[in-house]
A and B are shown apart, each in its own frame.
Chain A
Amino acid sequence: MKMAMTTSVRLIALLAAGMLLGLGTAIGAEDNPPLAALGPPPVPADNPMTPEKVELGKLLFFDTRLSGDASVSCATCHEPKQGWGFSNDISRGYPGTLHWRNSQTLINSAYYGKLFWVGAAKSLEGQGPAAAKGAVAGNGEADMMEVRLGFIPEYRERFREVFGDHWPKLSNAWKAIAAFERTLVQTDTPFDRYMNGEEGALTDQQKSGLELFQGKANCIECHNGALLSDQKFYNLGVPRAERWEQEGLAQITFRYEQYAKGVTEEMYRTIKDDAGLYYRTKQKADKGKFRTPSLRYTIYSAPYMHNGTFWDLFEVVEFYNEGGGENEFASTKTDIIKPLDLSDEEIEDLVAFLESLSGDEITMSTPTLPPYAPLPAQ
Chain B
Amino acid sequence: MRATRCKESFKRLALALVVGGAIIGVSGGAWADEFGSVEPIEVDAKKAELGKRLFFDKRLSGDVALSCATCHIPDKGFGDGLALSKAYPGSEGFRNTPTLINVAHKGTWFHDGRLGTNLNDVTREMLTETYLMNMDMRLMQERLKQDPVYVQMFDEAGYGEPSNGSVRKAIPEYLKTLTSRNAPVDTGTMSDAAQNGLDLFTGKAGCVACHSGPLYTDEKPHNIGVPENPEIWNDPRRHITFATFGIFMGIENYMNIRRDPGAHVRTHKADGTDIGKFMTPTLRELKQTAPYMHNGTVATLAEVVAFYNDGGGADPNKDPLIKPLGLSREEQADLVAFLEALSGDALTGPEHVWGEKIPANYEPIDNWVEVRN
Contact = CB atoms under 8 A, between A and B. Distances in A.
Q: Is this pair of chains taken from one and the same complex?
A: yes
Interface of A: 65, 67-71, 94-97, 135-136, 139-141, 143-144, 147-148, 150-151, 167, 244-256, 258-260, 268-272, 372-375, 377-378
Contacts of B62: 68-69, 94, 96, 135, 139
B64 A68 contact: no
Contacts of A148: 240
Given A251-B368, A268-B373, A372 B65 contact: no
Given A139-B136, A144-B130, A252 B63 contact: no
Interface residues of B, number: 45
A256 B62 CA distance: 13
Nearest to B134: A68
B65 A248 contact: no
Interface stretch (B34-42, B110-118, B137-145, B266-274): B137-145
A143 B131 CA distance: 11
B205 to A, nearest CB: 36
A259 B63 contact: no
A374 B239 contact: yes
19 contacts: A68-B62, A68-B134, A69-B62, A70-B90, A71-B63, A96-B64, A141-B134, A143-B248, A144-B131, A150-B255, A245-B364, A247-B362, A252-B139, A253-B139, A259-B138, A270-B372, A372-B237, A373-B236, A374-B233
Contacts of A150: 243, 255
Contacts of A256: 136, 138-139, 142
Contacts of A378: 255-256
Given A94-B62, A143-B248, A144-B131, 19 more contacts: A65-B90, A68-B88, A68-B134, A69-B134, A71-B63, A96-B59, A96-B64, A135-B139, A141-B244, A151-B236, A245-B369, A252-B142, A252-B143, A255-B142, A256-B138, A259-B138, A374-B235, A375-B233, A377-B256
A135 B63 contact: no
B4 interface: no
Contacts of B145: 252, 255
B234 interface: yes
A266 to B, nearest CB: 10
A355 to B, nearest CB: 36
Contacts of B248: 143
B147 to A, nearest CB: 9
B239 A258 contact: no
B136 A69 contact: no
B89 A70 contact: yes
B146 interface: yes
Given A244-B368, A258-B373, A375-B239, A143 B244 contact: yes
B361 interface: yes
A190 B146 CA distance: 49
Interface centre among B89, B143, B240, B361, by most chain A C-beta atoms within 10 angstroms, is B240
B365 interface: yes
Interface in B220-245: 233-237, 239-241, 243-244
Contacts of B244: 141, 143-144, 147
Interface of B: 59, 61-65, 88-91, 130-131, 134, 136, 138-139, 141-143, 145-146, 233-237, 239-241, 243-244, 247-248, 255-256, 258, 361-365, 368-369, 372-373
Contact of A269 (B90, B239, B362, B372): B372
A97 B145 CA distance: 15
A139 B59 CA distance: 15
Nearest to A140: B130
A259 B236 contact: no
Contact of B139 (A136, A147, A167): A136
A272 B146 CA distance: 16
B365 A251 contact: yes
3 shortest A-B CB distances, which residue pairs?
A: A248-B362, A70-B90, A141-B130
A96 B63 contact: yes
Contacts, number: 137
B63 A94 contact: yes
A248 to B, nearest CB: 3
Contacts of A140: 130
B88 A248 contact: no
Given A135-B136, A245-B364, A95 B63 contact: yes
A135 B146 CA distance: 17
Contacts of B131: 144
A66 B132 CA distance: 17
Contacts of B59: 96
A373 B234 CA distance: 9
B90 A375 contact: no
B59 to A, nearest CB: 7
Contacts of B138: 135, 256, 259-260
A258 B234 CA distance: 43
A139 B134 contact: yes
Contacts of B136: 135, 139, 256, 260
A272 B368 contact: yes
Nearest to B129: A141
* Residue among B61, B63, B247 with the highest chain A CB neighbour number at 10 A: B63
Contacts of B61: 96
A245 B368 contact: yes
B64 A95 contact: yes
A322 B90 CA distance: 50
Nearest to A67: B90
A255 B364 contact: no
Nearest to B145: A255
B243 A69 contact: no
B362 A69 contact: no
B243 A251 contact: no
A24 to B, nearest CB: 45
A254 B136 CA distance: 15
B373 A270 contact: yes
Contacts of B146: 248, 251-252
Nearest to A246: B364
A68 B361 contact: no
Most B Cβ at <10 Å: residue of A65, A251, A378: A251
B250 to A, nearest CB: 12
B98 to A, nearest CB: 22
B369 A69 contact: no
B364 A248 contact: yes
A259 B243 contact: no
Which among B61, B131, B136, B138 has the highest number of chain A CB atoms within 10 Å? Answer: B136
Nearest to B233: A374
